[in-house]
Chains A and B, each alone.
Chain A
């Protein structure tokens, strides 16, 4: 198994009507053994930008801490929050700094930009940005996730329907992956509120 599959992960983000949803699994494992079932992969940068990191768990935590640090500096200098497009460029630059010894994770960035327009993108471990209009996936279950999202996604879904769709896509995909699952963690973000939910999934 490759180093990206050492801990196991699944992250997906979807775009709805003036809202977005980002979801991840909750397993932390060491190859086949499950160590924890409450590992946090999705973190808040500020109220309108979330980042989900898949891949090696230690790099997930370290990279998140570095990004929070950079965002706080930005807030002090600019006296405002970062736009999601800007944040994505920041992440891409930080990852490329380590081009010859990369962070072994693949981020999924989701945010609400100007005029509450949702923005999602994903990157590989050295910062190649991939923008999408509908959904992005990453992690060990990514192939299953592509299939499930492609089948279940519709454009312009409202927040509740988006929550249902992303949850079903996540749970059915991780049920086909030995290394991810054991529950789900979903954030649905609209211009007025952030709803965080834990999903009850198969614990095997």
Chain B
């Protein structure tokens, strides 16, 4: 039913959401100005103990960003309390037909996930690989998109689905991880980081976000790999591939996988899987990037153009047809 929404109401309403109440972490309510790659965040609680954040602020009117209900975590340590909400709040659009607008918003991103990304855990850490094509329907809009996002020096996220959604939420996750480090004087685990992202996405369920991402990193328990999607689903595993080219990548990955591989063998397997997916899938292509996450953080191993990789794996033999035609002409 249509209802009139007050201009200052923010979404999602934190009260009453089961997912929000489970989160124990409390943070400053971050208000994001999503104009560019830089996000500034504000401490809206006047009783904040972290005064040095004030030095980062820009002079902006933040009245529209205030949350209606600050979130207090239950049973957590007092230095994390201070009554901050966990979810960034966005204003509702002022429309008469909010349901219709929502439907259009969902259709706009069209969760097609035309891409190929994969990640797997092996003896030496986590190998992460992706293609670099962005397509709009049948048109290739770019062959050089960065689909592996560097959340922080020891954690990577992959991008599948809507590019804007993935870039924004990964950046948001990076900020939350840094806040966790500052508040707890130690790095966040991969499990914790992926849980943060999953809970965030769950609260936007049904709004048309399109995110199919894998969080790969190395923490105290060793290598970690989680798959998180826009439904709020979160899966722990050793091998994942996401996107329209994933069936082809799985075929090559599953048949060549061994836990005891060296970094070189694993990177070749990852590169080959991406190559085969770009060959068969129309929505994947461009450059196959391969990253490795080890105990000291991630390193980029290779970024090979897939067009050249094809002739590297399958060199062209001279065709016999041309020779036949020359003989006929000589007669």
Interface residues of A, Cβ cutoff 8 Å to B = 1, 5, 8, 29, 31-34, 140, 175-179, 193, 196, 198, 200-204
Contacts and interface: CB of A to CB of B under 8 A. Distances in A.
A179 B114 CA distance: 13
B282 A178 contact: yes
B137 interface: yes
A177 B285 CA distance: 11
Contact of B281 (A8, A33, A175, A201): A33
Contacts, number: 64
Given A200-B316, A204-B133, A32 B282 contact: yes
- Nearest 7 A-B pairs (CB), nearest first? A204-B285, A202-B307, A178-B282, A203-B310, A204-B278, A32-B282, A204-B306
B138 interface: yes
B319 A203 contact: no
A2 to B, nearest CB: 10
Interface of B: 114, 131, 133, 135, 137-140, 143, 244, 278-286, 306-307, 310-311, 316, 319, 321, 325, 329
Given A32-B114, A198-B319, A204-B285, A179 B280 contact: no
A99 to B, nearest CB: 27
B138 A140 contact: yes
B138 A177 contact: yes
Residue of A5, A8, A179, A201 with highest tally of chain B CB at under 10 A: A179
B138 A34 contact: no
Contacts of B311: 200
Given A177-B140, A178-B282, 16 more contacts: A1-B137, A31-B282, A32-B281, A33-B282, A175-B140, A176-B139, A177-B139, A198-B319, A200-B311, A200-B316, A202-B306, A203-B278, A203-B306, A204-B133, A204-B285, A204-B306
A34 B279 contact: yes
B138 A5 contact: yes
Given A177-B140, A178-B140, A203-B307, A34 B282 contact: yes
A175 B282 CA distance: 11
